[in-house]
């Protein structure tokens, strides 16, 4: 992988939100929403060593120009969004460690990640967001806020789970937020909205007017 440091932001102990595209595009939707509403700026870029796929244009292919960005705003660092995740476990591990290294560089104490939670329960227009944390003590603090924890033991794959493991191994507290969805193949804007509302409750911050996500959800639902 190739890492390019564009500039050095003036940050000290920022909140960090790190998530990549996953089922229902939930990670990318939330990251893009926060970047837009907080007018974040790029300070570091990541380029994969090899493409994870090619684009067939109907007779000829293109190689995607894939990259992921670290962005920042006041007291906040955002990583991820974009398309896809690293194509190998090795590159995924390298990327997770880089996120941790950047977090440590700016004395980040908390990393939030997020994604989809595939369920058979009919979600309709009110998906719930479940939370898991890097320690039992932190989980108890979250419960006191009236936030639901993940309902059963499971394995969380990909960046949006593994980054919590890297955070824990490096002494950084982490919280993962995972919103219910039924169909992982289409963009899940209501799930993204549920995560943003839960994230606001956890961080005591406002991330933006989520009514636009309702509009996007209705457009997707009208086509299905």
For 156-178, letters b (16+ CB in 10 Å) and e give: bebbbbbbbebbeeeebbbbbbb
Please tell me the predicted confidence (pLDDT) of residue 138: 95
* 114 — pLDDT class (breaks 50, 70, 90): very high
Beta strands 110-118 and 41-47 are: unpaired
Q: Is the pLDDT of residue 221 over 90?
A: no
Taking domain 2-223, whether its CATH number is 3.40.50.720 is answered by no
pTM given for the model: 0.92
Alpha carbon distances (Å) from 60 to 39, 53, 55, 66, 124: 37, 14, 8, 19, 39
Query: Is the Cβ–Cβ distance between 173 and 138 less than 8 Å?
Result: yes
* pLDDT value at 218 more than 80: yes
Domain ranges of the chain: 2-223
Mean pLDDT of 7-17: 94
pLDDT digits (tens, 9 = 90+) for 25-62: 999 999 999 999 999 999 999 998 887 778 899 999 99
Residue 127 pLDDT > 80: yes
Predicted pLDDT at 215: 94
Q: Whole-number mean pLDDT of the chain?
A: 92
Question: Considering the chain, what percentage of its residues have pLDDT values greater than 70?
Answer: 100
> Among 10-14, 120-124, 161-165, 203-207, which stretch is predicted with the lowest mean pLDDT?
120-124
């Amino acid at each position: 992988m190739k890492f390019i440091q564009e500039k050095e932001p003036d940050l000290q102990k920022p909140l960090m939100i790190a998530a990549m595209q996953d089922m229902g595009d939930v990670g990318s939707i939330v990251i893009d929403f926060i970047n837009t509403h907080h007018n974040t700026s790029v300070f570091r870029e990541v380029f994969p060593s090899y493409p994870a796929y090619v684009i067939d244009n109907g007779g000829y292919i293109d190689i995607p120009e894939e990259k992921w960005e670290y962005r920042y705003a006041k007291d906040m660092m955002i990583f991820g969004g974009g398309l896809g995740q690293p194509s190998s476990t090795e590159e995924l591990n390298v990327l997770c460690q880089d996120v941790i290294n950047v977090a440590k560089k700016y004395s980040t104490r908390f990393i939030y990640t997020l994604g989809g939670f595939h369920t058979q329960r009919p979600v309709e227009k009110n998906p719930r967001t479940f939370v898991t944390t890097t320690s039992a003590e932190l989980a108890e603090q979250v419960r006191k806020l009236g936030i639901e924890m993940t309902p059963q033991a499971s394995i969380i794959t990909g960046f949006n789970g593994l980054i919590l493991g890297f955070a824990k191994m490096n002494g950084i507290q982490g919280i993962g937020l995972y919103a219910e969805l039924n169909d992982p193949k289409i963009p899940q804007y209501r799930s993204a909205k549920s995560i943003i509302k839960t994230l606001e409750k956890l961080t005591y911050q406002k991330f933006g007017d989520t009514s636009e996500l309702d509009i996007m959800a209705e457009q997707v639902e009208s086509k299905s």
